Amino acid sequence: MTQKHAHSDSLSSNPLLKTSPHPHHAVPFPEIKVEHYLPALEEAIRRAKAGIEQIKNNPEAPSFANTIEAMEMNGELVEIISHVYYSQLSAETSDELQALAARIGPLMSNFSSDVLHDAKLFARVKAVHDGPERARLSPQQLTLLDDAYLDFARNGALLSPAQKEQLRKLDEDLSKLGPHFNDNVLKATNAFELWIKEEKELAGLPDSAREAAAHAASEKGQSGWLFTLDAPSYLAFMKYSDLREYREKMWRAYTSRCVGGPFDNLELIKQIVGLRHQRANLLGYPTHADFVLKKRMAESPQVVNSFLGRLLQVSKPAAQMEIAEVARFAREQGGPRELMSWDLAYYSEKYKIAKFHFDEEQLRPYFKLESVVEGVFKHAQLLYGLQFKETSGYPKYHKDVRVFEVTKEASGDFIGLFYADFFPRPSKKGGAWMTNFREQGHYLDGLMRPHVGIVCNFTKPMPGKPSLLTFMEVQTLFHEFGHALHGLLTQCYYRSQAGTNVYWDFVELPSQILENWTFEKEALDLFAHHYETGEAIPVALAQKIKDTARFMAGYQCLRQVNFGLLDMSFHDVDPSEIKDVATYEHRVTDRSSVLPQIPGTLFSTGFSHIFGGGYSAGYYSYKWAEVLDADAFELFKERGLFNREVAQKFETHILSRGGTEHPMVLYKRFRGREPDPNALLRRDGLI
């Protein structure tokens, strides 16, 4: 057999290049091996490039259909393969998958550069953009056209050949650095272990945390208790452990991840912000923030800094008062004279219990994971008429993953596939996120419904005991499910506009608004039942959730503002002034800090959102979207939590429309006006 035929046979058997035999073309996860990704992507890119050649050499005059729409339909295989690869890189990774990122990142980057630097192709796009046909286009077609033109312009189409080559190199380098940053954070997180052998050293920890730690130890073939930096373990320890020296050890380990050592991110941060700044300058923008915000609701660094400044002005005095109250309480309890960062969660929790006679651990028995999942599905049914049916008929990438078919209750129409992946494991990065395996929209085979998933790191079930969630985990589930609804309920013709393909400071509205229902007794009654007795959550306990919702609201707001300001400080400046990341971070966060800064600890080195994700110059968007969600939820509060008319308006104008029009246009159609900026401060009790 010749080498060419062997290569051809290899491609023909590659599961990433074949039409999936499973219903709705579900991803054939078990059949996909690490060695399949690179050849599949190379072949997909070869086909996509052939499609581009046909578009740009079309002898017919440029039109919306033969240029803009044709480009939208081209390269669908590249999109699908990259979706699968990057989802696995985060949720079910390995050393081999991580090593592949250094090859796949540049491959994708160079393909994008080849398209966006093609002068002949851009000439066709520009001809349609500047031509008379635009006057006849629908709003979504006009958005697609303008986005296509801007994609070229923002990726160097107007640059000289030498500048284009410089931009290509910058993009290729950046495509490697983000995955490298995330890889370091994951490895540094996994590297730390706190082993406890004496039961007396578990003082203060609730049974749930002890059982989880014992289970973690047994999984490693050891006796005793194992605590790690994974969120369920770390947060429970910091909130409840009576041993201050151990809390300090955990806190220092968490906040010194990737500060020097084998997984150092300090130099990576300087490289990333430096390359981003060079890229922005090359494209004619003063800073990376100016470049990013041109395609955001906020539109400019000045607007973002003003927005964060307003929140800082309101939240810092409130946070200082809250910290002073907790510090006074700690001293009364025989605690430290000066409250430190490793004391805050512990003493604020004790203060909350004393003030409200309420311990959040009381809630866990009412939040059995399976019940909360059924509850969030019930919300989707009552609000949007959706049905979720679990099925074993689809392939999964890990045994813990659950797969659901989603349909419309009234019509039975298939809406999409929903994958749920809830528990921590060494192969999964920390945090929680929503992912797409297939976007909704038109493909060469016709209209396809979306395949979406949510990935979390919740408290694991123990032998003989189910997974019982904290209230924060319940909120996280509702949050990520809100993103999933955005992906599932989309009704767009073009894939690039579907679902969560919206401005970054708008994308958190569908997720954050759903969190509001977790504070309401009417909503809690749908799922919050004691896992042993079946008793509904008592009225008094549900009221405690509402009463404590504003507890430490100033500090929590300030904390998010601090992260937003830190993000902007890296991306709204000339990074040549950042000589030392640690010194720089401590200086810029001084005005938004209310606890002593500790040498050797940083947030930046683990800030994956902005250095390894899509939130650079965009972390402010969480608070921005909180304004939107607080304002939008006020309408549900006025008309009824499950008012179908309001929910239908939210689905019609927000969830189904994706990025077809400017988000403010969509929001005003839903709300009848622009959002009230004080809605968030009202909800938090800060005004």
Please list the active-site residues.
Answer: 480
Which residues are 208's β-sheet partners? none
Instruction: Report phi then psi at 248, rounded to 5.
Output: -60, -40
Q: What is the DSSP letter of 172?
A: H
Q: In a 3-state reduction of DSSP, which class is residue 386?
A: strand
> Is-contact 581 643, C-beta < 8 A?
no
Helix, strand, or coil (residue 300): coil
Return the sign of the alpha-carbon dihedral for residues 242, 246, 247, 248. positive
Helix residue ranges per DSSP H, 369-414: 369-384
Phi, psi at 387, each rounded to 5°: -120, 135
Backbone torsions φ then ψ of 390, nearest 5 degrees: -70, 140
CB 250 within 8 A of CB 354: no
Q: Which two tokens stand for residue 216?
A: 């973690």
DSSP alpha helices (H): ranges in 117-160?
A: 119-130, 139-154
Where would I find the H helices in 57-94? Answer: 70-73, 76-91
Q: Are 48 and 111 in contact (CB under 8 A)?
A: yes
Give the integer Cα–Cα distance in Å for 103 and 88.
Answer: 16
Rg (CA), the chain: 25
Q: How far is CA 420 from the centre of its chain?
A: 15
CA distances for 136 relative to 4, 63, 266, angstroms: 49, 12, 52
How far is Cα 181 from Cα 264, in angstroms, rounded to an integer?
A: 9
- Cβ distance 651 to 382 under 8 Å? no
3-state SS class at 344: helix
Between 266-282 and 553-571, two packed helices, what is the crossing angle to 10 degrees?
60
Given a contact cutoff of 8 angstroms between Cβ atoms, the answer to whether 660 and 497 are in contact is yes
Selection from 129, 207, 178 nearest residue 459 by Cα: 207
CB hemisphere CA count around 451 (13 angstroms): 19
DSSP state, 368?
A: B
